[in-house]
Amino acid sequence: MRLTAAEKYELIQSVTTSELGVKKTLEEFGIPKSSFYKWYKRYLEKGYDGLEKSKRISNRQWNSIPESQQNLVVEIALEYPELSSRELAYKITDEQGIYISESSVYRILKKRDLIPAPNHILIEASNEFKDKTQFVHQMWQTDFTYFKIIGWGWYYLSTILDDYSRYIIHWELCDSMEANDVKRTVETA
């Protein structure tokens, strides 16, 4: 429970003038001794104003990047627009002697709208193929699966699959994954 400055003052007056003693009086009020003595010390040092809720001196977090370093990141990013946030972080660390993480560089640039759009166009996958097969043997699929047999080495399973029926038309176990192996599997199918 938070007490106002007036309530703290009343408590101090009650405890100091009480005939019961500090410990018993505080037990009756349900106030820890450490809290009382902290308030009492501030009251003796600063008077009634010391009982007011103290304001934080700084809203800055202990690990926040100073504004000067943020400005430096922006300057270097504008000077070298072709560099990614990772490359900028390395450049700043190497040349300026200031360690700043890649994610921090990215956050600073994003906050100031300096992150460019990606150079590539993202193509979404469709739910179905555009040209669906209509009948058996219209289209075949090939696949190689490789696995290691302990004591024997690597072996490769070459399969031919019918796209319409999903039936395995032919399969062959090969000891290599070369063009001749694929050719032999397809010709046999």
Cβ(136)–Cβ(162) below 8 Å: yes
State residue 79's pLDDT score. 95
Domain ranges (residues) in the chain: 5-51, 67-111, 140-188
State residue 137's pLDDT score. 87
Look up the pTM and report it.
0.38
Q: What CA–CA distance (Å, rounded) separates 111 from 107?
A: 6
State residue 72's pLDDT score. 94
pLDDT, tens digit, 9 for 90 and up, residues 20-39: 888 888 898 889 999 989 98
State residue 93's pLDDT score. 93
Per-residue pLDDT in tens (0 to 9) along the chain, 189 residues: 688 888 899 989 988 888 888 888 889 888 999 998 998 999 999 888 888 877 666 666 778 899 999 999 999 999 999 999 999 999 999 999 999 999 999 999 999 988 877 677 777 888 887 888 889 989 999 888 999 989 989 999 999 999 899 999 999 998 888 888 888 988 888
Return the half-sphere exposure (C-beta side, CA atoms, 13 A cut-off) of residue 78. 9
List C-alpha distances in Å: 129 to 26, 89, 133, 151. 78, 43, 9, 42
Q: What CA–CA distance (Å, rounded) separates 26 from 3?
A: 14
